[in-house]
Every structure is written in C-alpha cells, then in structure tokens.
Structure 1
Amino acid sequence: MVEQVRADPRVDAERVVLWFFSGGGLFAADWLRSAPPWLRGIALAYPLLLPFPGWEVDTRFLPVEALASGGDVPLVLARAGQDPRSWPASTRSSRRRPRRAGRCG
C-alpha cells in the first residue's frame, strides 16, 4: 500500500511520513528497523509497542526491539490519557522519553 501511495502523482514520493496508531504500532517495527531513504519520519499515536500477554506475535513485530536497533528515522510519539493497569507495561511506560527523542533529522 505504501508503494501505491508513493506512486500517486499528488504525493512527493521522496518525502513520506508513516503514521501508526494503537495496535497498528506493532507494524511500525520493520520501518523503524530499516527505514528507506524516502521515509522522513514515523508517527506513533498511542501505540502498542509490545503485544499483550498471551498474544503470539512474530518477533518481527516488536517495535521496542526495533527502536534499540539504532535506526535514525525521526520519531514522534503521541500519548493521551492514562493507561489502565491491565495494559502491557511497555505501553504504560512509553511515557518515558525514547532514546531518540529530540532528533529531527
């Protein structure tokens, strides 16, 4: 789908930001791990950064580990409200400043 959007003549294919929210945050991992040169940033809005306990998820879909891989794509993390105690600790603890915060490329 990203390639279809980039192919649209109304889109600057060399300046794209991807936006992931909620449970879709797990899909950000590949992009965080190895961002193509046209990817100018990733926005994560109230993302799930680790799966809920009991979820069987391929290790490919772990944004927390991807962040540690040292990619350099600019990252915006947005949160709202307070997380229920039943949510994974990684989601509740996302209020801690990510290591790459503040770098705007």
Structure 2
Amino acid sequence: MDEPKLHPILNRPNEYAISDFRYHVDREQPSESFIEMTLQKNMDSVTLRFWQPANLKIEEGFPRPTRGMVFYDRSADGLENTKIEVADFESSWGAITFCARGVEIVIAQS
C-alpha cells in the first residue's frame, strides 16, 4: 500500500508544539464545527482551523510530546468530508488524531 501524500498546509508539523487547542461544535450546522490548533516552533506561530472534524482521538499525555504529528492529504480518497488527516507517524504517547473536511491558516506569525 502506498504511503499517503503529505498535506501542504504546514511543512514539518512534527517540529511544532501545540500551544492552544479548541473544538467548536455547531449543533445547528455540524458542517460549521471546527478544531482550531495553534502550533509554535521557536518564535513562529501558526493557527490552523480544521473544518468539520471527525473521529477525534486524544491519547493520554496530550499535549506532550506529540512530536510525530503529520498532516496527510486525503482529497484523492474520494470521501466527501475527509480531505485532511491529522495523524502521528511515531505512535508516541500524547498523540492527537482526526480527519477533517478541510483546513485553513487563520493566523501565521514569525
């Protein structure tokens, strides 16, 4: 089986630490639910918004170390609401995993 393609939204997300994690649930319009995650690396910071997240798993130890975080591009898989997968390639403790309909950069600071 081929390795999934990396999503281009952020280069090497495994080098970032999670500094903020929010899950907004919109009960009236579930497609407007999102996860916002702020990631920091040295003086750089980026906030990503993942639309319509599904299958969220947060392992014991979160948010540390999460050093195996990777974003896979799932748009070619043909699933309607799964275009990005947040995974952990190291299977380290504290991993966070989920799929989402899409992702965008909300704030990027250097």
Question: TM-score, normalized by length of structure 1?
Answer: 0.25
- Going by fraction, where is helix more abundant, 1 or 2? 1
More strand by share: 2
**TM-score, normalising length: structure 2:** 0.24
Work out which of the two has the higher radius of gyration on C-alpha atoms and give 1 or 2: 1
